[in-house]
């Protein structure tokens, strides 16, 4: 990608009108200085200078013939500058195109089935994925227009209308430090989050606790409100308000979080009587290092809370955390498509055919965040587990693929584990789900 980046920068530098006219620092009449100045001149600069010459000619008292000759020279020079700049630009553009063609192989004939999305069910699924991506991106108007153009109805929706808009609105508020809606949702889904052992609800209250303690947010212990105005609120020290908030919303969750809650309450002791937000540098000097983590914006607030909320919200709705269209494009653009095309070309040249419908002929390297399933390789046959040949765990706890298990049984039904002396029967083996 570095080569492409360099070519893009070169195109931007050569683009007509993007250059800057740089006059010499010291007046010079030498030919080399004039050539250098002309080379630095952009298309817009050349046109501006031509217009200035025309204005000067209008005010000039020289004979018309002399003026015409001078202007003709300047027009010729301007035309040459523009042509040279355009030539440089299109040469750079051509090199960029070649770099892109070299990096990204364009033809995908033979890899993708041209009829893949021709039937009605596949077309409907594709439309849903596109609409899902638009809604997740916050493009509500475009999503509605797409629905109309694709003639989609309410039955084509994965989720109730407005679900992704709610997700978008709440995550936007979290990033701004407004946690009311997120806390309300987490409270409503408390049982679901507890079953998943999710830290979301605690982390949201922890963030608000810290914000109140540092004077970034006002909270009334008497009314339980989060107003930011009012004389009564300003008379209450932030540390006292945070203490009362913690007693109300954090203490009930002490369980496995007891140690962290104790640190949060101890953290208040080093803030003294904070009535307004203090600079971070002053707080770092005042507070012992073990408590500096509570001053880390990225760790305690929106930067970490927004993706955590998105993960739990999408899990509750039963949909993928990332838009499927985004993931598909990211996988293809990260090199998967190029590798498949290259392998397919080599297989054709050698007369081989891609015979396996459910697997690729070569492993595609992917980053960790794009790996969604565990992979099991049978230690006996070295084959990868599939739906037809799933991993099976014997009584001793060792796991092999089903076909290997059947071969080990040798028609008798009894299996001796190849890795330990324990014997069992084929029927006693259990399928393993990763």
Per-residue pLDDT tens digits for 77-135:
888 888 888 888 888 888 888 877 777 655 666 666 777 778 888 888 888 889 889 98
Q: Could you please report the per-residue DSSP string of 291-327?
A: GGGGG-HHHHSHHHHHHHHHHHHHHHHTS-SS-HHHH
Q: Answer whether residue 263 shows pLDDT above 60.
A: yes
Q: Which residues contact 103 (CB under 8 A, 6 or more apart)?
A: 1, 3, 4
Average pLDDT of the residues in 382-402: 90
Other Cβ atoms less than 10 A from the Cβ of 337: the count is 19
Greater confidence (26 vs 6) lies with 6
Most confident by average pLDDT, 183-192, 403-412, 417-426: 183-192
> Would you say residue 271 has pLDDT above 80?
yes
Integer angstrom CA distances of residue 90 from 12, 13, 94, 394, 405: 11, 12, 6, 67, 64
For the chain, the average pLDDT equals 81
Phi first, then psi: what are they for 415, rounded to 5°?
Answer: -125, 130
**pLDDT above 70 as % of the chain:** 84
- What are the residues facing 431 on neighbouring strands? 392
Exposed e or buried b per residue across 313-330, where buried means at least 16 C-beta atoms within 10 angstroms of its C-beta: bbbeeebeebbbbebeee
Q: What is the pLDDT of residues 22-72, one digit of tens each?
A: 434 444 444 444 433 444 567 788 888 888 888 888 888 888 888 888 888
Contact 6, 25 (CB under 8 A): no
Query: How many other CB atoms sit within 10 Å of the CB of residue 385?
Result: 22
Q: What pLDDT digit, counting tens, does each position of 292-322 carry?
A: 888 888 888 989 999 999 999 999 998 888 8
Say which CATH class 373-434 falls into: alpha beta
* pLDDT tens per residue, range 351-369: 776 665 566 777 788 888 8
Backbone angles phi, psi at 40, to 5 degrees: -80, -15
Q: How many helices (H) and strands (E) does the chain have?
A: 19, 5
Domain boundaries, the chain: 2-103, 159-317, 373-434
Q: Is the pLDDT of residue 348 over 60?
A: yes
- Sign of the alpha-carbon dihedral angle for 130, 132, 136, 138: positive
Q: What is the pLDDT of residue 357?
A: 57
For 330-347, the pLDDT digits (tens) are 888 777 877 887 787 787
pLDDT at 35: 39
Kindly report the pTM of this predicted structure: 0.61
Q: What is the structure's pLDDT at 17?
A: 59
Q: How far apart, in whole angstroms, are the C-alpha atoms of residue 19 and residue 85?
A: 10
Residue 155 confidence (pLDDT): 66
Q: 178-187 pLDDT, tens per residue? A: 999 999 999 9
């Amino acid at each position: 990608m570095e080569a492409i980046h360099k070519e893009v920068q070169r195109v931007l530098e050569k683009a007509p009108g993007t250059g800057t006219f740089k006059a010499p620092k010291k007046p010079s009449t030498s030919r080399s200085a004039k050539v250098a100045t002309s080379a630095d001149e952009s298309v817009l600069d050349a046109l501006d200078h031509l217009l200035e010459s025309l204005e000067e000619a209008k005010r000039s008292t020289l004979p018309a013939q002399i003026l015409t000759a001078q202007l003709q020279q300047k027009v010729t020079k301007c035309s040459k500058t523009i042509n040279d700049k355009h030539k440089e630009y299109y040469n750079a553009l051509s090199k960029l195109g070649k770099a892109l063609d070299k990096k990204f192989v364009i033809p995908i004939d033979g890899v993708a089935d041209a009829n893949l999305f021709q039937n009605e069910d596949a077309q409907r699924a594709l439309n849903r994925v596109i609409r899902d991506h638009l809604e997740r991106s916050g493009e509500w108007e475009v999503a509605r227009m797409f629905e109309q153009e694709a003639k989609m109805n309410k039955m084509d929706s994965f989720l109730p209308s407005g679900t992704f808009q709610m997700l978008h609105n709440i995550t936007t508020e979290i990033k701004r430090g407004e946690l009311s809606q997120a806390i309300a949702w987490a409270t409503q889904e408390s049982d679901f989050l507890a079953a998943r052992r999710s830290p979301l609800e605690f982390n949201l209250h922890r963030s608000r606790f810290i914000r109140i303690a540092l004077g970034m947010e006002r909270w009334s212990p008497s009314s339980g409100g989060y107003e930011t105005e009012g004389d009564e609120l300003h008379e209450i020290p932030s540390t006292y308000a945070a203490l009362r908030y913690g007693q109300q919303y954090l203490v009930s969750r002490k369980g496995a979080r007891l140690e962290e809650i104790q640190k949060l309450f101890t953290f208040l002791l080093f803030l003294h009587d904070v009535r307004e937000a203090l600079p971070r540098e002053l707080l770092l000097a005042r507070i012992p290092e073990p408590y500096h983590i509570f001053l880390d914006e990225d760790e305690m607030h929106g930067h970490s809370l927004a993706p955590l909320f998105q993960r739990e919200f999408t899990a509750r709705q039963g949909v993928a955390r990332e838009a499927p269209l985004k993931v598909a494009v990211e996988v293809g653009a990260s090199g998967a498509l190029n590798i498949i095309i290259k392998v397919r070309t080599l297989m054709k040249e050698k007369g081989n055919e891609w015979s396996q419908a459910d697997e690729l002929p070569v492993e595609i390297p992917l980053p960790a965040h794009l790996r969604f399933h565990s992979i099991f390789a049978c230690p006996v046959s070295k084959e990868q587990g599939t739906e037809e040949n799933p991993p099976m765990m014997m009584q001793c706890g060792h796991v092999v693929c089903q076909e290997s298990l059947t071969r080990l049984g040798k028609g008798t039904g009894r299996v001796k584990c190849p890795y330990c002396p324990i014997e069992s029967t084929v029927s006693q083996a259990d399928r393993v789900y990763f």
